[in-house]
Chain A
Amino acid sequence: MKALENNEGVSMTAKLTHLERLEAEAIHIIREVAAEADKPVMLYSVGKDSAVMLHLAKKAFYPSPPPFPLLHVDTTWKFKAMYDLREKAAKDAGMELLVYQNPEAKERGINPFDHGPLHTDMWKTDGLKQALNHYGFDAAFGGARRDEEKSRAKERVFSFRTASHGWDPKNQRPELWNLYNAKKKKGESIRVFPISNWTELDVWQYIQLEEIEIVPLYFAAPRPTFIYEGGLFMADDIDRLKEVMGEVPEITERSVRFRTLGCFPLTGAVESEASTLSEVIQETLLTTTSERQGRVIDKDAGGAGMEKKKQEGYF
């Protein structure tokens, strides 16, 4: 972001905007981890928050490429458009892309239709733990934000996980000023959230100002959709849907977009005409339901769903 406009050589201290401050803070966090961790990695989910985080990493180390790889913990059930952007984004950043799929989930054919919450547990929660152990990463950047969900509001920027990846909300290290304590024992790891203090609106606006490429599914377009258990979904891969659902659902073309991207059968679409960033932001601001509501995961286990997932090691 262009922070200062120098008016005909007249020195002035412009007041930094909130986005400029958030950007500087995130870059500072990313550099601290690169300097203090032995083997950091950036978790990359291909969503808009990941896109912003990757962009910030590029900025933090320019003109060098970021000194760590990207890791995608894959479920094999992501939207096709996400896989396309994943390869391109890593290549553009000059970063190595690691893809990890839980071999056990793969072998057992775990899928969102037959296995419900087990799908998330095995592919994502277990998959992430396995991937971090497999590669020996001791610090992992994640794109979580404090405004997403109640228990996230109390998350530290540097969040410590035991050797078994557990999170103990009562035993977190105090974080003062912008001094982050990255010391840890062998086997322990840190999850680091550089965009903790960003809101959904901040993320959208930053994407617009910085012209960051995001998955086209965030914009409305005519897409093949079906209704399943009262939710609206996109038929991204009809062959696979048929395989797991036993039949091809009734498909109707609707103008839809996604507010959040996960596995295509778990992520609800919304009917929308918003095909530009401005329109998407407009719709987001005027909407009356919160972002994660399209995801099934938070509703498990009542109000404490996400907190429980985190204690078990979910990001």
Chain B
Amino acid sequence: MTEQSKDSVYQTDALIAEDIDSYLETHQHKTMLRFITCGSVDDGKSTLIGRLLYDSKMIFEDQLEALSSDSKKVGTQGQDIDFALLVDGLAAEREQGITIDVAYRFFNTEKRKFIVADCPGHEQYTRNMVTGASSADLAVVMIDARKGVLVQTRRHSYLCHLIGIRNIVLAVNKMDLVDYDQDTFDRIVADYAAFAEEIGIESFTAIPISGFKGDNITLAPSENTPWYEGPSLVDHLESVEVLSDIAADMPFRMPVQWVNRPNLDFRGFSGLIASGQVKPGDAVRALPSGKTSTVKSIVTFDGELDEAQAGQSVTITLADEIDCSRGDVLCVADDPPETADQFEATLVWLNDEDLSVGRGYWLKLGTQTVSATVQQPKYRVDVNTMDELAAKTLSLNDIGVAEVYSDKPLVFESYAENRTMGGFILIDKITNATVAAGMLNFSLRRSQNVHWQATDITREHHAQMKNQTPRVLWFTGLSGSGKSTIANEVEKKLALMNRHTFLLDGDNVRHGLNKDLGFTEADRIENIRRVGEVARLMTDAGLIVLTAFISPFRAERRLVRDMLEDHEFIEVFVDTPLEVAEQRDVKGLYKKARSGELKNFTGIDSPYEAPENPEITVNTVAMTPEEAADHIIQQILPLK
């Protein structure tokens, strides 16, 4: 360990001891920078972070004691302190000797507080790197001086660039192991520069360091690299501009998080300002409604503010009573963001389960949550070669570009313009997992030009003329469970009651509307989506629609439910055990499936997800089709 790293920047003990108040005064005015470290396995990321913590006295004596005993037990540095042990937290990875998740670390220098996301280098953990990078102002890309630019270096740099990090530091580490050789350093920098230009990285700062020995970490040039003329790593980290300071100079946008309404006289809109500045008297617009007003006051616990800017959490009151709630965006009146429901987006897939094209996911952007579907990707990117490859779906750690359709208009800006207004996550509606990170590129022109045609005879008119409440009775169950038979019985009974109905049958629809579709998972999803749309049009026409489709996936039934008005979708679970259905085998399909002649057959080699809370369940073992139909009629009679 060289002594030089302990000087200057961290030399604050004396000030703390002599004049604590002036020390605190200094600390109070520090700014904050978030950065990530990424690189290949064994590039020495954890060691570098351990070194920064150690040098800034963020390691206490008892931790150091534990560290040196751990170092002797499992360390890789002989009798020396293994800084990596300090930051590799979880027991599992301590045993494996690798970092498997993002760890956040903190240290201070004289000028700044730093939050470091330590990101893993393994390919399978790309999702963690994207997570760490999403909130970072800067990325330190580590390279082992002995190995030079590797495939992983390229991947990490690409990801950092993709997620919009403009400040990239190329830390050429382990310089001590190449005898601090300038030619080695220069060659690596040249290699990296060529690659950086290829993927659009405009600039980067290269620093030769040794995380283990401490060279050029806090002081530059180290006596071992007299040829190096740039800043030390810490000097550079202290001088880089922070993202949200840049955002303060952009147009004002604040996603509304919460409407604050303690009494009838006060109505405030609370949120974290995403960009720009705002002051009382400013003309603002609420989106998507487009209504305008002026800012009356900026209310905080500490009194009203004359002005607020990006990065502050505030509550804004307006001069007029305009309709505005969580999910809306307050913005500067004459320069609002766009509103659209069809986009092109770049997606990073974060989940073990592949993207289901056409399936409904929750999309959260700012404080807006909508239902959205992803179309078949235009391409996915090979992150090692940057080649664009054809893709039918996206799997864990894939990056691709696809069109995204939302069921309601979203207020947005391109991610390149505004991270908060263009970055989103996709959430699986069944498992609730965060399955993808997305960045909106632009809205599709057709969504701007195709408007809803307002018709004079409304769906209410249609329903009134038929003297009935439109419904969709959605029969779901295994093949041979009796869906079509029972639906047919129900329709006959409804007809006798003078109800206007229509039965959509699975087999029949596949002869016409959906004859282009097969039985793969993607085709089954599209099949159901189309049937859902048709059913919706029929309810607009005032009809009671009966559908008989296996519809094996919960997510697709959910998708149709979400398309319709509340309470309009009635899920009827035709509950027949597989053995019974297989025994009936009316169409001889089970036999074919068992013999392998028929692929993707529900119940045999494709799953059936039974409804969790169906409105109606009929058990066809205990009931005849006639009894089942009566039971269903009983259940829906109160609905008129």
Residues in chain A within 8 A of chain B (CB atoms): 1-4, 6, 11, 13-25, 27-28, 31-32, 34-35, 58-65, 146-147, 150-154, 169-170, 172-179, 181, 183-185, 196-197, 199, 201-202, 205, 208-209, 278-279, 281-282, 285-290, 293, 303-304, 307-308
Given A146-B106, A181-B425, residue A62 in contact with residue B305 (CB < 8 A): no
Residues of A within 8 A of B103 (CB): 153-154
Q: Does B102 contact A (CB under 8 A)?
A: yes
Chain A neighbourhood of B62, CB < 8 A: 288-290, 293
Establish whether residues B312 and A24, one from each chain, have CB atoms under 8 Å apart when the complex forms: yes
Among B261, B266, B437, the residue within 8 A (CB) of A176 is B437
A24, B310: Cα distance in complex, Å: 10
Determine which of A154, A174, A196, A293 lies in contact with B90 in the assembled complex, contact meaning CB atoms within 8 Å: A154
A176-B425 CB under 8 A given contacts A3-B308, A4-B308, A181-B364: yes
Could you say which residues of chain B place their CB within 8 Å of the CB of A286? 13, 16-17
Given the known interface contacts A17-B30, A32-B257, the answer about A173 and B434 at a Cβ–Cβ threshold of 8 Å is yes
B104 near A289 (CB under 8 angstroms)?
no
Name which residue of chain A comes closest to B366, CB basis: A179
Chain B residues closer than 8 Å to A201, beta-carbon distance: 27, 108
Q: How far is the CA of A303 from the CA of B420 in the complex (A)?
A: 39
5 nearest A-B residue pairs (beta carbon): A18-B32, A27-B313, A288-B61, A150-B89, A290-B60
State which of B70, B279, B420, B432 has its C-beta within 8 Å of the C-beta of A184. Answer: B432
Q: Is the CB of B24 within 8 A of A278?
A: yes
| Given A170-B92, A177-B423, 11 further pairs, Cβ under 8 A | A3-B309, A17-B28, A25-B313, A28-B271, A61-B260, A63-B260, A64-B261, A151-B91, A176-B425, A181-B425, A290-B62
Closest to B309 in A: A13
Find out whether the CB atom of B302 lies under 8 angstroms from the CB atom of A289.
Answer: no
- Distance in Å: Cβ of A291 to nearest Cβ of chain B: 8
Contact B24 A289 (CB under 8 A): no
Interface pair A4/B307, CB less than 8 Å apart:
yes
Query: CA A202 – CA B106 in complex, angstroms?
Result: 11
Asked if A176 contacts B130 (CB within 8 A), the reply is: yes
Nearest A residue to B426 via CB reads A181
Instruction: Give the Cβ gap from B102 to chain A, nearest Cβ, in Å.
Output: 7
Report yes or no: A15 in contact with B242, Cβ–Cβ below 8 A: yes
Residues of A within 8 A of B260 (CB): 61, 63-64
Q: Which residue of B lies closest to A284 (CB)?
A: B16
Given contacts A59-B300, A174-B128, A289-B60, whether A28 and B305 have CB atoms under 8 Å apart is no
Instruction: Mark out the residues of chain B between 473 and 523 whose CB falls within 8 Å of any chain A CB in the assembled complex.
Output: none
Can you name 7 A-B pairs with beta carbons within 8 Å?
A17-B30, A20-B312, A179-B425, A197-B104, A208-B24, A285-B20, A303-B66
What residues on A are CB-neighbors of B108 within 8 Å? 199, 201
Q: How far is the CA of A289 from the CA of B65 in the complex (A)?
A: 10
Interface residues of B in 41-88 (CB under 8 A from A): 58, 60-63, 66, 70, 86-87
The interface-forming segment of B230-238, B244-252, B383-391 is B244-252
How many interface residues does B have (CB within 8 Å)? 92
Closest to B163 in A: A176
The 8 Å CB contact of A16, one of B31, B249, B271, B302, is B31
B contact residues around A199 at 8 Å (CB): 106, 108, 113
Residue from A62, A172, A197 in contact with B300 in the complex, judged by beta carbons closer than 8 Å: A62
Q: Which residue of B lies closest to A180 (CB)?
A: B364
Q: Is the CB of A24 within 8 A of B272?
A: yes
The answer to whether B434 and A153 have CB atoms under 8 Å apart is no
Name B311's closest neighbour in chain A (CB-CB): A16
Q: A31-B270, A177-B419 are in contact. Are A172 and B66 (CB under 8 A)?
A: no
Once the chains bind, are A21 and B272 in contact (CB under 8 Å)? no
CB of B608 within 8 Å of the partner chain: no
Instruction: State the CA gap A172–B432 with chains docked (Å).
Output: 12
Alpha-carbon distance between A289 and B63 when the two chains are bound, in angstroms: 8
Which of chain B's residues have a CB closer than 8 A to the CB of A185?
A: 432
Chain A residues closer than 8 Å to B326, beta-carbon distance: 35
A151 to B420 alpha-carbon distance, docked (Å): 29
For the complex, give the distance between the alpha carbons of A4 and B620 in Å: 70
Tell me how far the C-beta of B52 lies from the nearest C-beta in chain A, rounded to whole angstroms. Answer: 14
Q: Does B362 contact A (CB under 8 A)?
A: yes
Q: Nearest chain B CB to A143's CB is how many angstroms away?
A: 16
Task: Check A60 against B434 for contact (C-beta < 8 Å).
Answer: no
CB A134 to nearest CB in B, in angstroms, measures 24
B105 at the interface (CB under 8 A from A): yes
Contact B437 A174 (CB under 8 A): yes
The verdict on B553 contacting chain A, using a C-beta distance below 8 Å, is no
Q: Is the CB of B261 within 8 A of A173?
A: no
Beta-carbon contacts under 8 Å, B288-344 to A: 299-303, 305-309, 311-313, 315, 326
